Structure 1
Amino acid sequence: MDLKLEVVVIPVSDVDRAKEFYQKLDFRLDADFTVKPGYRVVQLTPPGSLASIIFGEGLSSATPGSVEGLQVAVTDILEAHDWLAERGVDVSEVFHDETGVFHHAGTVGRVSGPDPARASYGSFLSFEDPDGNGWIAQELTTRLPGR
Structure 2
Amino acid sequence: MDYKLEVLVLPVSDVGRAKAFYKELGWREDADIATGADFRVVQLTPPGSPASVIFGTGVTPADPGSMHGMVLVVDDIEAAHADLAGRGVPVSGVFHDAGGVFHRAGTEGRVAGMAPERQSYGSFLSFDDPDGNGWFVQEVTTRLPGR
Given the two structures, how large is their TM-score scaled by the length of structure 2?
A: 0.99
- 1:143 alignment partner, SS class: coil
| Shift, 1:94, TM fit | 0.4
Instruction: Give the share of equivalent positions with the same residue, in percent.
Output: 65
Q: Distance in 1 between matches of 2:30 and 2:116?
A: 38
The residue aligned with 2:16 is: 16
Q: Distance in 1 between matches of 2:138 and 2:83?
A: 14
Instruction: Please show how residues 94-109 of structure 1 align to structure 2 within 5 Å.
Output: 94-109=94-109
RMSD (CA atoms): 0.6
The residue aligned with 1:121 is: 121
Given the two structures, how large is their TM-score scaled by the length of structure 1?
A: 0.99
Superposed CA deviations along residues 39-63 of structure 1, whole A, max 9, x for unmatched, are 0000000100000000000011111
Q: Distance in 2 between matches of 1:101 and 1:111?
A: 12
| Shift, 1:8, TM fit | 0.4
Give 5+ residue unaligned stretches, structure 1.
none
- Displaced runs of 4 or more, over 3 A: none
Q: Distance in 2 between matches of 1:78 and 1:27?
A: 19
Superposed CA deviations along residues 59-103 of structure 1, whole A, max 9, x for unmatched, are 111110010011100111111111100100000010000111100
The residue aligned with 2:25 is: 25
- 2:118 alignment partner, SS class: coil
The residue aligned with 1:62 is: 62
Q: Distance in 1 between matches of 2:82 and 2:37?
A: 39
State the aligned residue count. Answer: 147
The residue aligned with 1:142 is: 142
> Residue 51 of structure 1 aligns to which amino acid in structure 2?
A
